[in-house]
Amino acid sequence: MEDSLPLIIQLISGAVGGNVAGKLFKNLSLGTVGNSIAGILGGGIGGWVLGFLGMDGGASGISGILGSIGGGAIGGAVIMAIFGALKKAFVK
């Protein structure tokens, strides 16, 4: 369970980040469910990238939790924006 906690935090913060980005960039929003799904995907990817680069702050402690939250939220927002832009480009 302890190994999966950072992933869970990344996925939840990714969903939040995707929805916040959807509110900020209304023209790219995929709706609440779409923003959440894209955000969850982006949260996992963002956390993986930070871990790969060694910037996750370790697996435990406050820095690890903050790294998971930040990586998940930023990854979620970025993936939601990319998906929103792709949807806007292909659906006219």
d(CA 83, CA 23): 15
Please, which pLDDT band fits residue 2 given cuts at 50, 70 and 90?
A: low
Q: How many other CB atoms are there within 10 angstroms of residue 36's CB atom?
A: 19
pLDDT score for 56: 60
- Per-residue pLDDT of 11-35, as tens digits, reads 999 999 999 999 999 999 999 999 9
- Per-residue pLDDT of 28-74, as tens digits, reads 999 999 999 999 999 999 888 877 877 665 556 777 788 888 889 99
pTM of the full structure = 0.85
pLDDT score for 25: 93
